[in-house]
Amino acid sequence: MQIQELNKEQQKAVNHIDGPMLVLAGAGSGKTKVLTNRIANLIENGISPYNILAITFTNKAAKEMKDRVVRLIGKEAYNIQISTFHSLGLKILKENYSMLGYEKNFTIIDSDDVLIIIKKILKDKNMSKDRYNPREIKNKISSAKNEMMSIDSFAKVEFDHKVVEVYKEYQQKLKNGNSVDFDDLLILPIKLFRNYPRVLEEYQDRYKYILIDEYQDTNEAQYTFSKLLSAKYRNIFVVGDNDQAIYAFRGANYKNILNFEKDYPEAKTILLEENYRSTKTILNAANSVIKNNHERKDKNLWSNNATGNKIKYKEVANEKEEASFVGTEIKRLLSEGINEEDIAVLYRTNAQSRVIEEEMLKKNIKYRVVGSFYFYNRKEIKDLLCYLRLINNHKDDVSLLRVINTPRRGIGDKTIETLTEEATTRELSLYETISKGKELEFKNLIEDLTKASESLSLTELIDEILEKTGIKKELSASKLLEDEIRLENLNEFKGVTKSYEEEYGTASLGDFLDEISLVSDMSEHQDSSNRVSLMTVHSVKGLEFDYVFIVGMEEGIFPHYNAINDGSNSAIEEERRLCYVAITRAKKELYITSADTRMLFGNPMRNQPSRFIDEIDKEYIDKERPKKLEKIITKVRKAVDKNATYEVGEHISHTEFGEGIVISVDKSIITVAFPHPFGIRKLMKGHPNITKL
């Protein structure tokens, strides 16, 4: 380990051995280097690798951390548990499944499977999908679990008792099917720890030294899990940045990091403020924005890097002009020898990508849309995975229902309905209920494949499934291009099994399925060739690029309309943290654009430039607003009389507050969202200071 490569504050963090520590690590301050070097230092100080636990949020981050530790200390690193929260939860669950009432080969169901179960419950209960949105119910159940709410507690806050009934039924179906969902991978270990103190102590004695990355992104379940594990020895070392807390919509609670010193009064705190990524100008711009947040621990990023160019802000007439500007600038950068992979275009919502993509195609610029498509969500891959899951766990009703008639083998809805009723009455799985007809032929097929799985490799088993089920025959016989692509995708999946076998040798089907279930980072499956990256600001967290474009910096877009309409400081502060994350992705140059008019939801909307642009100190930004745009804006303005009508989404101008968006209309009163610092205002319709745009 080379301590001399670390700055003074990094060294303090790395050399810390016993007791709790909070490391507030600003963007680009080398937090991963600190984490990996601390692990190496613990081992150098006689701590057994077996007693060290490092937790990250993605499989990709966990792999990168392990690779770095291997380079530092060698093969000893393989004895360290470096994983995601969910991977660790799964490990604990697999070691103690019987104590929680599960059988060995339990299934981990994914998000789509959850929806299938909920839809089935709604159908059985004659609950209208128009009134009861399956996805909304799914989110409520997930939120309840992540907030550590029991069904009884959930019943106290959920006004509709039928939704509570769905939750109860859903949990019962999971249990009957020897299945767990993703949220259960943390909830069940917590239940285990609370019900069996001796088991908890065993894991506390094993993981005496705990390191957690991105602590600001922990939810209630992850927070509770960490607190239980660290309670005995209190050697918990957390790294994070409250200014980069942007996942409240996923249940993350940034206050966990703000409250760390209350939870551990003896904790030491280290600030990592030296940035190694960005120019001084970009950093100063980011600092000038984030300082407007109040719910934060104060720190100020600085850098020894070059001053760099000012941020280039371009205001344009519409989204097409915006896309043209971005495309032209990227073309110029490429002509100067910049690689595509060093450029990123960031936007607040996925809907903004379309015109950018069109421009990339028009200008023949190679690009990838990160996070918009996921290999394992393709229909044919889902079907294959369900066959594998059913072979591994015959009680997996969700997988059975998906493939029992895929390809079509004459098993109709009526047959399935009869089977379901019988299974419910007899308290058996669907598989156990099957005793006759074409469904028995299907059962025999699964039995044969299960037997084959005992002697075949994973890749050989895939070939066997494709042949025996008739999937390969059906797709090969089809003349549709779509089916040809599906067959190619299935062959591509064999590349996944081959890679897995090369890495792990002979591996069980159950272990392979566990690995696939835990692959949550979409970027791991993206085309890694040299391309410009197009992505949402949420997707870019943890990444960096030499040249960054942030498009759509307008009120109602960024900050998002929902945050403005929320009317709370916390919602706007989350948007500002998101802006801070976006700015600090840029290493060399940053471009910001806004459009006066943008097509949204099928309608043209006029937009005020984002408040975050004005929050950037003038010395760090060059603003460009074409004169012709000034004329256009002046031309479309017209006076409003007392009888004027307003609609939600319309834009108005106020002599004092500037341009705003109408968010509600009530008789003689309109409610308007104005830029910071004016916020939400109620105004008389006929007020002389109002101009309709």
Of 592, 595, 606, the C-alpha closest to 320 is 595
> Catalytic residues, which ones?
31-32, 213-214, 244, 585
Count other Cβ atoms within 10 Å, centred on residue 350.
15
Written as six digits, the tokens of 97 are 């499944």
| DSSP state letters, 214-266 | SGGG--HHHHHHHHHHHTTT--EEEEE-GGG---GGGT--THHHHTHHHHSTT
Total number of residues shown for the chain: 693
The residues with which 226 forms a beta bridge, in sequence order, are none
Residues with Cβ within 8 Å of residue 401, at least 6 apart in sequence = 116, 120, 416, 430
437 contacts 448 by C-beta, under 8 angstroms: no
624 contacts 582 by C-beta, under 8 angstroms: no
Of 45, 49, 36, the C-alpha closest to 2 is 36
CA distance linking residue 463 with residue 388, whole number of Å: 12
166 contacts 121 by C-beta, under 8 angstroms: yes
Of 366, 312, 220, the C-alpha closest to 549 is 312
Alpha helices in 316-436 (DSSP H): 319-335, 353-362, 379-392, 397-403, 413-426, 430-433
Residues with Cβ within 8 Å of residue 68, at least 6 apart in sequence = 32, 33, 36
Give the three-class secondary structure for 587.
Answer: strand
| DSSP state letters, 336-358 | TT--GGGEEEEESSGGGHHHHHH
267-281: burial string, b at 16+ Cβ within 10 Å, e else: beebbbbbbebbbbb
Written as six digits, the tokens of 494 are 């064999």
Count other Cβ atoms within 10 Å, centred on residue 511.
14
Instruction: Give the dihedral sign, CA 592/594/599/600.
Output: positive
Torsion, Cα 532 213 590 600, to 10 degrees, reads 70
22 contacts 179 by C-beta, under 8 angstroms: no
DSSP structural state of residue 550 = E
- With both helix axes pointing from N to C terminus, report the angle between 509-517 and 379-392 in degrees, rounded to the nearest 10: 140
Tell whether omega for the bond before 265 is within 30 degrees of 0, i.e. cis. no
The residues with which 368 forms a beta bridge, in sequence order, are 533
- What's the Cα-to-Cα distance from 281 to each of 7, 8, 589, 639, rounded to whole Å? 22, 24, 9, 42
Written as six digits, the tokens of 115 are 């929806």
The amino acid present at 146, given as its one-letter code, is: N
CA distance linking residue 484 with residue 477, whole number of Å: 9
Written as six digits, the tokens of 390 are 């059913």
